[in-house]
Amino acid sequence: MSDTRALGVLQRVFGYESFRGDQQAIVQQVIDGGDALVLMPTGGGKSLCYQIPSLVREGTGIVVSPLIALMQDQVDALTELGVRAAFLNSTQEWRVARDVEQAFLAGELDLLYVAPERLLTDRCLQLLERGNIALFAIDEAHCVSQWGHDFRPEYLGLSMLHERWPDVPRIALTATATAETRTEIAQRLSLTDAHHFVSSFDRPNIRYRIVEKNEVRKQLLDMIRTEHEGESGVVYALSRARVEETAEFLCNQGIDAMPYHAGLSPQVRAANQARFLREDGVVMVATIAFGMGIDKPDVRFVAHIDLPKSVEGYYQETGRAGRDGLPATAWLAYGLQDVVQQRRMIDESPGDDAYRRRLGQQLDAMLGLCETVECRRVRLLAYFGQHITACGNCDVCLDPPQAWDGTVAAQKVLSAVYRLWKERGQRYGAGHIIDILRGKVTDRTKQHGHETLSVFGVGEDLSDTAWRGVLRQLLAQGLLTVDNEGYGTLALTEGSRAVLKGERQLMLRRESEKKARSGKTGGS
C-alpha cells in the first residue's frame, strides 16, 4: 500500500514518471521504518530516497548535511514544488531560526535541513525531542570516515541519534565508498541493522583519459580548445597557488575561468560558485574544496592537473561530469613529479604509521589506475567491487598502449642509483639520474666527476621522455622510492634487488604513437 503512496508522491510532487535504480526499494525500506545505507554515484538520485519517505511518513524528515552553502538552494527548490522545507544553520538570523523552530513544533514542516554541529547542540536536541520526527537522513555520510579527505569530526557525534531515537528510521547516503569505507560508516553511525543499497557505480557516458604530463597548462588548454570550447568544466589542482596561476593562465588565453579554494573569502567563493552554476561555459579551477553537493547537470569535463590522492576522491570528482547523461570527459595529466611529490607528502604527513600506510595504499591504487594496460573503467569499478568487461570508452580501450620489456632499462636506472649511493654516498632526484644515464655533461656532473661512473652514458638509446616513463613506473610500482630526507631524491627498495639481479622481468607501458603525438608527451 505504501508503494502507491510513494509512487504518487514521486509523480505528483516531483513530476517524475518512475523510480530509478534502487530508489523504490530504498524508499520502501525507510517508509516501513527500517534503516538504510545508500551508496549511489553522484547524480544517481539520492535526494528522493529521503525526501519521499519524509513526505509519506508522519512528522518531519531531519536531513543532516554539511553543505551549509547549498541548503538555501535545496530548500528553495523544494518550496517551489510545494514541499514545506526549511533549514537551520549558523548563517541565519535568530529571528528566522525561531520561526523555523516554531514551524517544526507545529508540525508544519516536511523536511528540515540541519548542519551537524547545529544538530548536536543541546538547544537543537531539545527542540527535536518536542517535535515529531519522520526520519533522520545523514547526507554525505562518508564525512564520518577519518581516512577520507572530507572527514568532519561532528559526524562522529551522530551515532547518538540511534540511542536517543531508537524507533526513528535512519538513512545514510554517500557517493563515495569502497567496501572498507562502507563498513566504517555503518560502524561509526551505529547502522548495524541497516540494509545496504549499493548501486552500480558505472558512469558509461564519461570517457576516462589519463595522459602523460608534460607542459600541463598547455595540454589542458589544448584539451579544452579542441574538445570542450565554450563548455562548462572543472579543473582540479592540489594547491591554492596552482589554482590561482592556472585560472589566470586560462583567462589570459580567452577561457572564462575562475578560481575556487578555501583561501578565498566566503563571499568570493559563493559568487564564483553561483556564476558557475548559473552561467554556461564557465570553467572552475579549484581545489577539492569545490564540488561536494554541486548539482550542475551539464559539466562537460573534469580535468585533474595534479594526481588525486585516492581512487575514491578521483571517482567522486570525475563523477561531477556529465550528470545529464550526455558524453563527458574525465581527463587527468600525470607525471613522474606527481609520484615523487606525493610519496614525499605522505612521508611528511602528520599521523601515525598506520595512517601513513593507509595513505600509501590509496596512492598505490591510484597509480595502478594510471599505469594500467587494462581498461580504465574495469580497474576503476573493480576498486568499488564491481566487475564489468572492457568499456570501449576510455583511452586504453580506444587507443591501447604498448607493453615493452623494460627490464634492462630498469636495471640501468637502479644500478645508477645504487652506485651513486654505494660508491659516493650520494642521492639525487630523477633529473640528474637521467642526465647521467644519457651521458649529458652538466655543471653538476662535472662538479662531482659523474662522467667517470660506469653507468654514465649507458642509456643513450632512450629519450628523456622515455626515461622519465621508466622512472615513473618504477616509482609507481614501488621498485624505486623517494627517500625520506624530503628533497625528492631517489633510493632503492626491497623490490629493487630482484630486478637488479635479473630475477624479475619487468613489462612497462608505453603510450601508443598516436597518443604520444596528440598528448605532446615529453618529460614531466
Among 13, 34, 45, 504, binds ligand ADP (CB under 6 A): 45
Tell the smallest beta-carbon distance from residue 471 to ligand ADP (Å). Answer: 39
Q: Which of residues 281-310 bind ligand ADP (CB under 6 A)?
A: 295
- Please identify, using beta-carbon distances, which residue of 6 and 223 lies nearer to ligand ADP: 6
For 399-420, b/e burial (b = at least 16 CB within 10 A) is eebeeeebeebbbbbbbbbbbb
Residue 40 makes contact with ligand ADP by CB under 6 A: yes
Binding-residue total with ligand ADP (CB under 6 A): 13
Q: Which of residues 471-500 bind ligand ADP (CB under 6 A)?
A: none
- Please identify, using beta-carbon distances, which residue of 139 and 371 lies nearer to ligand ADP: 139
Name beta bridge partners: 302.
Answer: 234, 330
- Please identify, using beta-carbon distances, which residue of 7 and 516 lies nearer to ligand ADP: 7
Judged on CB neighbours under 10 Å (0-12, 13-18, 19+), 154 is middle
Which region, judged by CB under 6 A, interacts with ligand ADP, from 16-24, 326-334, 382-390, 393-401? 16-24
Q: Tell me the one-letter amino acid at 85.
A: A
Tell the smallest beta-carbon distance from residue 132 to ligand ADP (Å). Answer: 25
Tell the smallest beta-carbon distance from residue 16 to ligand ADP (Å). Answer: 4
**Inter-axis angle of helices 122-130 and 94-105, to 10 degrees?**
30
Helix/strand/coil for 71: helix
Give the number of other CB atoms < 10 A from CB of residue 273.
Answer: 20
Q: Report the distance separating Cα 475 and Cα 459, nearest Å.
A: 18
- Please identify, using beta-carbon distances, which residue of 19 and 155 lies nearer to ligand ADP: 19
- Please identify, using beta-carbon distances, which residue of 7 and 397 lies nearer to ligand ADP: 7
Which region, judged by CB under 6 A, interacts with ligand ADP, from 38-46, 151-159, 195-203, 364-372? 38-46
Enclosing H/E stretch for 113: strand 111-114
194: its cell numbers: 541497516
Among 6, 9, 19, 141, binds ligand ADP (CB under 6 A): 19
Tell the smallest beta-carbon distance from residue 297 to ligand ADP (Å). Answer: 6
Number of H helices and E strands in the chain, helices first, is: 24, 17
**Inter-axis angle of helices 47-56 and 2-12, to 10 degrees?**
120
- Please identify, using beta-carbon distances, which residue of 48 and 391 lies nearer to ligand ADP: 48
Residue 20 makes contact with ligand ADP by CB under 6 A: yes
Residue 43 makes contact with ligand ADP by CB under 6 A: yes
In the block, residue with C-alpha cell 600506510: 357
Q: Report the distance separating Cα 514 and Cα 488, nearest Å.
A: 32
Output the residue with the shortest Cβ distance to ligand ADP.
Answer: 45
Q: Report the distance separating Cα 53 and Cα 288, nearest Å.
A: 32
Residue 144 makes contact with ligand ADP by CB under 6 A: no
Tell the smallest beta-carbon distance from residue 314 to ligand ADP (Å). Answer: 17
Which region, judged by CB under 6 A, interacts with ligand ADP, from 19-27, 29-37, 237-245, 332-340? 19-27
Residue 16 makes contact with ligand ADP by CB under 6 A: yes
Tell the smallest beta-carbon distance from residue 456 to ligand ADP (Å). Answer: 56
- Strand pairing class (480-482; 170-174): unpaired
Q: Report the distance separating Cα 258 and Cα 280, nearest Å.
A: 13
* CA distance from start to end of the chain: 61
Among 28, 42, 287, 489, binds ligand ADP (CB under 6 A): 42
Give the number of other CB atoms < 10 A from CB of residue 514.
Answer: 10
**Cβ partners under 8 Å of residue 36, min gap 6:** 26, 29, 30, 49, 169, 170, 171, 172, 194, 195, 196, 197
Tell the smallest beta-carbon distance from residue 104 to ligand ADP (Å). Answer: 23
Which region, judged by CB under 6 A, interacts with ligand ADP, from 46-54, 158-166, 195-203, 209-217? 46-54
Of 286, 315, 312, 281, the C-alpha closest to 296 is 281
Residue 46 makes contact with ligand ADP by CB under 6 A: yes
- Please identify, using beta-carbon distances, which residue of 19 and 208 lies nearer to ligand ADP: 19
Judge contact between 130 and 105, C-beta under 8 A. Answer: yes
Tell the smallest beta-carbon distance from residue 43 to ligand ADP (Å). Answer: 5
342: its cell numbers: 606525493
Q: Tell me the one-letter amino acid at 98.
A: R
Q: Report the distance separating Cα 331 and Cα 209, nearest Å.
A: 5
220: its cell numbers: 589542458
Tell the smallest beta-carbon distance from residue 272 to ligand ADP (Å). Answer: 21
Residue 524 makes contact with ligand ADP by CB under 6 A: no
Which region, judged by CB under 6 A, interacts with ligand ADP, from 18-26, 109-117, 332-340, 498-506? 18-26
Residue 23 makes contact with ligand ADP by CB under 6 A: yes
- Please identify, using beta-carbon distances, which residue of 42 and 521 lies nearer to ligand ADP: 42
Name beta bridge partners: 111.
Answer: 61, 85
- Please identify, using beta-carbon distances, which residue of 45 and 401 lies nearer to ligand ADP: 45
Enclosing H/E stretch for 64: strand 60-64
- Please identify, using beta-carbon distances, which residue of 316 and 415 lies nearer to ligand ADP: 316
Judge contact between 128 and 270, C-beta under 8 A. Answer: no
Which region, judged by CB under 6 A, interacts with ligand ADP, from 39-47, 57-65, 431-439, 441-449? 39-47
- Please identify, using beta-carbon distances, which residue of 82 and 266 lies nearer to ligand ADP: 82
Tell the smallest beta-carbon distance from residue 36 to ligand ADP (Å). Answer: 14
What is the binding site for ligand ADP (CB under 6 A)?
16, 19-20, 23, 40, 42-48, 295
